[in-house]
């Protein structure tokens, strides 16, 4: 019995050491970035927390939004102050709890929510989620995001680095054997917007695959409905205008098949909310805003050229909305 307990203790000790090593490898660079005031999520939340009631428009969403909506263009064209609070792999529940935290410091007129199928499923990037939530000032909001937003999976991933970083460990192992060099570090940020200067190559364009649809994507409609309604109720209670956006894809990908699951789902879903304004930027005034494959840095992120078009589309949407309501 004593020998068995020793084996258990030894195994547990090895498990703890492995997790400590993993935590050090992946958390220490983030710690250093915060210390040096270069961590993008730290800088975003610092702007929200320290500049109280400074922003008229807040963007929420994934990296597809933080590479897309340029506050410099929005502010100039709309004569307001905007901030891009898009973060990597931002899930719909993360968007909600981020909004709760934001509204404790800001009172914007507009909330712009970018959504797409991949971020409303049961597959979560907990490292990115907890990186974002770690900068909440409110312990209550952070606790609710972890426990209510993700349940037992959230708690276990929060406590066990091996689980939280498993996808990044796999990526690093594959990169080690493939010899692929990592993408250059992201440096050019402005009010939460990342100016991506990478332009997709012809080889990458030829390798494009069709856009995800309900047959190959584990979209969780119940989860999306739960948290979108929470976002809707919160913005409605605050008297804010909620604009929902589907950001564009490269034209070549759109032509790969005739499936329009994602487009039709959002179009039909938002019909149930008469005071929510939904726009698919793939087909919003295409005679004026026409995208090229070279407006993208990869298969679904726009670069700085595409960001100009996305931002001007949002400007047009808001100006049209204001003209209609006046």
Q: What is the CATH number of the domain that holds 258?
A: 3.40.50.1110
Q: How many domains does the chain contain in total? A: 2
Task: Output the tens digit of pLDDT for each of the chain's 326 residues.
Answer: 666 555 566 555 665 566 566 655 667 666 576 667 788 999 999 999 999 999 999 999 999 999 999 999 999 999 999 999 999 999 999 999 999 999 999 999 999 999 988 888 888 888 888 889 999 999 999 999 999 998 888 888 877 766 666 666 666 666 666 655 555 555 689 999 999 999 999 999 999 999 888 887 888 999 999 999 999 999 999 999 999 999 999 999 999 987 788 888 999 999 999 899 999 999 999 999 999 999 999 999 999 999 999 999 999 999 999 888 76
Structure tokens at 250: 């490269």
Shared domain check, 64 and 28 = no
Helix H or strand E segment including 29 = helix 2-35
Q: How many CA atoms, within 13 angstroms, populate the side-chain half-sphere of residue 94?
A: 29
- What is the extent of the structural domain holding 30? 1-37
Structure tokens at 160: 């066990």
Shared domain check, 14 and 87 = no
Shared domain check, 87 and 11 = no
Shared domain check, 270 and 260 = yes
pTM of the model: 0.90
Q: Which of 189, 209, 221, 195 is nearest to 299 (CA)?
A: 209
Within its chain, how far is the Cα of 202 from the centroid?
27
């Amino acid at each position: 019995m004593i020998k068995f307990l020793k084996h258990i203790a030894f195994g547990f000790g090895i498990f703890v050491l492995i997790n400590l090593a993993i935590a050090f490898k992946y958390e220490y660079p983030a710690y250093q970035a915060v210390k040096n005031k270069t961590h993008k999520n730290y800088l975003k939340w610092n702007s929200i927390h320290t500049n109280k009631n400074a922003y008229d428009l807040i963007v929420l969403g994934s990296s597809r939004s933080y590479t897309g909506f340029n506050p410099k263009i929005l502010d100039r064209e709309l004569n307001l102050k905007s901030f891009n609070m898009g973060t990597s792999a931002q899930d719909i529940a993360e968007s909600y709890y981020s909004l709760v935290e934001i509204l404790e410091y800001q009172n914007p007129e507009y909330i712009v929510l970018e959504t797409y199928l991949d971020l409303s499923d049961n597959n979560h990037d907990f490292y990115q989620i907890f990186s974002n939530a770690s900068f909440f000032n409110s312990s209550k909001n952070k606790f609710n995001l972890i426990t209510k937003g993700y349940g037992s999976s959230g708690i276990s991933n929060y406590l066990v680095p091996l689980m939280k970083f498993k996808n990044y460990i796999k990526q690093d192992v594959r990169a080690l054997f493939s010899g692929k060099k990592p993408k250059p570090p992201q440096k050019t940020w402005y009010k939460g917007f990342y100016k991506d200067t990478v332009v997709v190559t012809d080889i990458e364009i030829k390798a494009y695959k069709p856009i995800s649809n309900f047959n190959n994507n584990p979209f969780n409609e119940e989860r999306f409905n739960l948290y979108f309604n929470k976002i809707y109720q919160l913005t409605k209670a605050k008297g804010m205008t909620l604009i929902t956006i589907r950001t564009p894809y490269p034209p070549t990908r759109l032509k790969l098949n005739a499936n329009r699951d994602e487009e039709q789902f959002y179009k039909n879903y938002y019909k149930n909310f008469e005071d929510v304004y939904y726009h698919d930027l793939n087909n919003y005034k295409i005679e004026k805003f026409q995208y090229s494959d070279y407006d993208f840095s990869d298969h679904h992120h726009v670069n700085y050229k595409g960001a100009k078009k996305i931002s001007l589309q949002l400007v047009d949407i808001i100006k049209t909305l204001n003209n209609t309501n006046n």
